[in-house]
Chains A and B, each alone.
Chain A
Amino acid sequence: MLQKLKKIIAGIDADYADLRYEIKTTTKVRMSKGEVKETTSNSGDGFVLRVLKNGGFATICFTREEDADEAIKKVLDNAQMIAENQDNPTKMAAAPVVKDSYKPELIEDPRDYSIEDKIALVKHYSDLYFTQPKVLDASVWYSDVIREKYFVNSEGSEIFEELVSCYLEALVYCKEGDRTEEGYLPMSSSNGLWKLRNRDEDAIKTAKIAHDLLFAENVKGGTYDVILDSSMTGIFIHETIGHLSEADNVENNPSIRQKMQLGTKLGSDILNIIDDANMPDQIACYKYDDEGVEVKRVNLMTNGVITGRLHNRFTAAEFNEPLTGHNIATGYEYDPIIRSGCTFVHSGESLFDDLLKQLNNGLYLCGYMSGMSSGDDFNFAARWGYKVENGKITRMIKACNMSGNIFETLKNITAIGNDLKFNEVNPCSKQQLNLRCSEGGPHILIKNITVGGNV
């Protein structure tokens, strides 16, 4: 395949070209109401071609090899159009020529298991849910995705990489009277099926949360000191410093670029944030990004100071900073964009009980549901939470949102737990839905957060 790709780009009249061909094979099993609703196993494939000509950059995705000539003509015309209408030509940072074939080491390769085995795994969790109190229904779905990626560029790189992702998620519904509450269980792995097994405790906890939410109270809206659990810490960091560290997000926004200069103090002294897509058991793990650059661990924030940024070859040239290997596509349908890998807050020293004592009165917010930031403000949703009174967890509260200014809040992180954990599924929706990103952190204590609720 690599030879075929080299032949296609050999005749392209451009200063730079790269071509990625990818086969994506997906197996799915879905159950609800205790019954199998879907089992499928299919493959799709396609090409992504990128060219740089006279400083103009354009990309095209196409799914049929016979469309290659039309695609080449279109992408070259578009690159020329950009070249003729931009003030400054687009430049690429130099990158090493790589010739490599890489497959991850797997513990329980999903391809070694039959569809019956996968149905049994889903059924195990589904059956477990129906033994829990007040459970009316549970949707449990499994998928494994095998991506075989072939990459060549006009500089001579030739790379094959295989990515193997396994997911098992569940939504469990509990009902009391007219009110329904749900619990969500996410599991994922990029090094085999093993991580989806023996998680009964997590599954039962999900059902218990849905059950307890039926009897939880609404929080009163206002300003609180809060402890975030690791999933909320993770989403907070992903949506704030994670996205602000993606160079394409700041490159063309002069005011945000000014604020995010390396060396700027933005967080509290105890805050250290890292992006590391090299951890084999995290879903964001990969070796090469989708422009053939090896991924690097990056210290994004050190003692509250911005110390690193995530790049593709274009932004690395624009910012004159080192390559990091973060240009990622979700699949063969997309050209790559800069994406954080696994972004996390480094563990601190505090025990959870110490955090509760320091909080004294406030809220403990748990179970990320979603999040978004706008460059300066953020808004994150917790699936549930608890009141903390006199340093003790007391009553449960229903789902609520927290919001604030990113830069004020980063300075208001006053204590960090010693219990780092990672989120397993966070479908980041920056332009293209990416299931292979993750984030994490320990419990953290933040002062003065606005929490949505009744007034």
Chain B
Amino acid sequence: MEKLLQIAKEKADQAEIYYSRCSDDFISIIDSKFNKVTSSIVSGYALRVIKDGKIGFSYTRNLIDREKLIEQALKSAEKGAKVEFSFPKTTKTASLKTYDPDIKLVNKQQLIKEAKEIVQYIKSKSTAQIDMCFYIAEWEKRLVNSAGTSLRELKSWYTFYLSFPFPETVSNISISLLAKKQQPLMDKAKIDHLLELYTISEKQIKVITGKMKVILMPEAVGSFIGRFNEAIHPFYFDNKTSPLLNKMEKQIFSDKLTIYQDPLDDSNLEASAFDGEGVARQKTVFVENGVLKNIYTDLKYSAKLNLTPTGNGGRSEIESSINPSVNCYSITPGNKSLEEMIENIEEGIIIYNLMDSYSGNILEGDYSIGVSAAFYIKNGKLIGRVKDAMINGNIYETLNQINAIENEVHFFGLGNFPAISFEEINVISSQT
């Protein structure tokens, strides 16, 4: 890397090299049967240069011809975009525990033994189809640039998913274990709760179209946050199409809602100390008690919008150019347990998963989404699985009608979210 940087510096005004290496195993067990193992050992280099005020990009999976890689980046810069930023000199980043060296000691025989014990335990109680998977991975990423930045980070993941597909469908309910090294898998209380939901799901209920009380579980909350995430993407502030363009310091959601990112919370597997362009990541509050406070930016949009970079220069893979992104969203917990939230509903639905969230005018916050895993609540109890229903509305109206927020958060995909209970949401079904 250092040799490449040296040559690149001689030919360009500024240079940056990003390296990543990943080794992983994905083990799938479908319908209680060991299916296959898919693994990878992949690495690569990405180079960005700035020359005559223009930026260029190139990448390779095999660093055999350094000169060619540099030439490709310089050629890209010739026709590339003008930039108003410099690669940063980052000397200090947070010290995070994102890696546990014990990940190298994963005992697959132990993993198999525990998986078989789980299958046996579930089969003694239910006829549910049992699907499981493990993802075990370790990553290294490094970033050096001509300003003198030299950063390295290691990550390890040991994750386990257990799901029960509902009969005649791939819709399911699931639980997960997310850790940085091998952990015992069996959590009987969680498995029993999942089995209880599965039993309830055997009774199917068709709801009648209308407005009703709805609880969104964390994964479903993520669909709403995904729409907010689009509206605070700096691209839409730069081209002036965001609906939140003139809403800074204004109330946009219920005052019960505080949304932030905390990439430095290393209990979150997505935590990291620096972003894809070497900017130190930081905790950033986007919405405080319903008031819009900040958007996220990378170096390019920080310069364009005259904002301080928030460490959100996302780099999904070696082949990808930088795109601003957030992967550690959090919502501040409320003061009600999930049980209390359910008990307080006479009639309504609780939605665990939605189907096809990418729909409607996402930028404007519209949603029109099918439910995948949802249950009907009657007199404070779940009584059956809701089939064939959709929810419809706009997040800037719905997130102003929050009844209660759960008093704990749960990690999935986009971040740490609590369940949220709403006064009323449009629910549409074939029954009127």
Closest to A137 in B: B239
- Pick the most buried of A46, A173, A221, A454: most chain B CB atoms within 10 A of its CB: A221
Q: Is B25 an interface residue (CB 8 A)?
A: yes
Is B355 in contact with A374, judged by CB distance below 8 angstroms?
yes
Is B239 in contact with A57, judged by CB distance below 8 angstroms?
no
Q: Is A298 an interface residue (CB 8 A)?
A: no
Is B428 in contact with A451, judged by CB distance below 8 angstroms?
yes
Q: Is B176 an interface residue (CB 8 A)?
A: no
Is A61 in contact with B40, judged by CB distance below 8 angstroms?
yes
Interface string of B389-432 (1 = CB under 8 A from A): 11110000000000000000000000000000000001111101
A180-B364, A381-B358, A401-B359 given as contacts; is B81 within 8 A of A86 (CB)? no
Inter-chain contacts of A249 with B (CB < 8 A): 170
Determine, out of B29-37, B95-103, B253-261, the stretch whose residues face the partner at the interface.
B29-37
Is B33 in contact with A252, judged by CB distance below 8 angstroms?
yes
User: A454 CA to B430 CA in the complex, in Å?
Assistant: 14
A63-B43, A222-B428 given as contacts; is B37 within 8 A of A375 (CB)? no
User: A221 CA to B238 CA in the complex, in Å?
Assistant: 35
Is A403 in contact with B42, judged by CB distance below 8 angstroms?
no
Is A370 in contact with B36, judged by CB distance below 8 angstroms?
no
Inter-chain contacts of A378 with B (CB < 8 A): 370
Inter-chain contacts of A399 with B (CB < 8 A): 359-361, 366, 368
Q: Is A82 an interface residue (CB 8 A)?
A: yes
From B171, B210, B363, B432, contact of A377 by CB (8 A): B171
A221-B426, A376-B168 given as contacts; is B42 within 8 A of A41 (CB)? no
From A37, A82, A181, A398, contact of B37 by CB (8 A): A82
Is A455 in contact with B40, judged by CB distance below 8 angstroms?
no
Is B59 in contact with A370, judged by CB distance below 8 angstroms?
no
Closest to A255 in B: B168
From A115, A136, A256, A333, contact of B240 by CB (8 A): A136
From A40, A74, A405, contact of B76 by CB (8 A): A40
Is B167 in contact with A85, judged by CB distance below 8 angstroms?
no
Is B209 in contact with A221, judged by CB distance below 8 angstroms?
yes
User: A221 CA to B30 CA in the complex, in Å?
Assistant: 37
Interface string of A72-89 (1 = CB under 8 A from B): 001100110110011110
Q: Is B318 an interface residue (CB 8 A)?
A: yes
Is B359 in contact with A67, judged by CB distance below 8 angstroms?
no
A46-B61, A377-B388 given as contacts; is B170 within 8 A of A63 (CB)? no
Inter-chain contacts of A85 with B (CB < 8 A): 34, 112, 116
Inter-chain contacts of A60 with B (CB < 8 A): 38-41
Q: Is A153 an interface residue (CB 8 A)?
A: no
Q: Is A315 an interface residue (CB 8 A)?
A: no
User: A232 CA to B85 CA in the complex, in Å?
Assistant: 43
A64-B62, A182-B361, A455-B210 given as contacts; is B37 within 8 A of A78 (CB)? yes
Shortest Cβ distance from residue B346 to the other chain A in the assembled complex, whole angstroms: 19
A42-B60, A60-B41, A379-B369 given as contacts; is B33 within 8 A of A180 (CB)? no
From B42, B170, B210, B369, contact of A333 by CB (8 A): B42
A39-B76, A370-B359, A375-B168 given as contacts; is B34 within 8 A of A381 (CB)? no
Inter-chain contacts of B170 with A (CB < 8 A): 249, 253, 256, 374-375
Inter-chain contacts of B210 with A (CB < 8 A): 455
Q: Is B182 an interface residue (CB 8 A)?
A: no
From A44, A46, A78, A370, contact of B25 by CB (8 A): A78
Is A40 in contact with B57, judged by CB distance below 8 angstroms?
yes
Q: Is B44 an interface residue (CB 8 A)?
A: yes
Shortest Cβ distance from residue B211 to the other chain A in the assembled complex, whole angstroms: 6
User: A379 CA to B429 CA in the complex, in Å?
Assistant: 12
Closest to A88 in B: B33
Q: Is B241 an interface residue (CB 8 A)?
A: yes
Is A372 in contact with B75, judged by CB distance below 8 angstroms?
no
Inter-chain contacts of A179 with B (CB < 8 A): 243, 364
Q: Is B372 an interface residue (CB 8 A)?
A: yes
Q: Which residues 329-372 of B have a CB within 8 angstroms of A?
A: 355-356, 358-361, 363-364, 366, 368-370, 372
User: A325 CA to B211 CA in the complex, in Å?
Assistant: 48
Interface string of B74-92 (1 = CB under 8 A from A): 0110011100000000000
A42-B59, A87-B33, A377-B355 given as contacts; is B41 within 8 A of A67 (CB)? yes
Closest to A448 in B: B430
Shortest Cβ distance from residue B60 to the other chain A in the assembled complex, whole angstroms: 7
Inter-chain contacts of B199 with A (CB < 8 A): none
Q: Is A59 an interface residue (CB 8 A)?
A: yes
From A37, A44, A79, A376, contact of B61 by CB (8 A): A44
User: A455 CA to B210 CA in the complex, in Å?
Assistant: 6
Interface string of A292-308 (1 = CB under 8 A from B): 00000000000000000
Is A81 in contact with B368, judged by CB distance below 8 angstroms?
no
Shortest Cβ distance from residue A269 to the other chain B in the assembled complex, whole angstroms: 23
Is A450 in contact with B60, judged by CB distance below 8 angstroms?
no
A450-B390, A454-B392 given as contacts; is B364 within 8 A of A252 (CB)? no
Inter-chain contacts of A173 with B (CB < 8 A): 239, 241
Q: Which residues 27-71 of A have a CB within 8 angstroms of B?
A: 32-33, 35-46, 57-65, 67, 70-71
Shortest Cβ distance from residue A385 to the other chain B in the assembled complex, whole angstroms: 12
A35-B81, A61-B39, A375-B168 given as contacts; is B239 within 8 A of A41 (CB)? no
Q: Is A26 an interface residue (CB 8 A)?
A: yes
User: A79 CA to B243 CA in the complex, in Å?
Assistant: 52
Shortest Cβ distance from residue A91 to the other chain B in the assembled complex, whole angstroms: 13
Q: Is A322 an interface residue (CB 8 A)?
A: no
A59-B38, A119-B79, A455-B428 given as contacts; is B241 within 8 A of A38 (CB)? no
Shortest Cβ distance from residue B208 to the other chain A in the assembled complex, whole angstroms: 10
Is B59 in contact with A44, judged by CB distance below 8 angstroms?
yes
Inter-chain contacts of B169 with A (CB < 8 A): 256, 374-377
Write the residues of chain B forming the contact surface with A, with a CB cutoff of 8 angstroms. 25, 30-31, 33-44, 56-62, 72, 75-76, 79-81, 108, 112, 116, 129, 165, 167-171, 209-211, 235, 238-243, 317-319, 321, 355-356, 358-361, 363-364, 366, 368-370, 372, 387-392, 426-430, 432
19 A-B residue pairs with Cβ-Cβ distance under 8 Å, sorted by A, are A37-B80, A38-B76, A39-B79, A42-B57, A58-B36, A58-B38, A60-B38, A61-B41, A63-B61, A81-B37, A82-B34, A136-B240, A136-B241, A381-B358, A401-B356, A404-B388, A452-B369, A453-B426, A455-B210
The 9 closest A-B pairs by CB, nearest first: A379-B370, A381-B359, A221-B428, A452-B368, A78-B37, A372-B356, A375-B169, A452-B390, A252-B30
Write the residues of chain A forming the contact surface with B, with a CB cutoff of 8 angstroms. 26, 32-33, 35-46, 57-65, 67, 70-71, 74-75, 78-79, 81-82, 85-88, 90, 115-116, 119, 136-137, 173, 175, 178-182, 221-223, 249, 252-256, 259, 332-333, 335, 369-372, 374-381, 398-401, 403-405, 448, 450-455
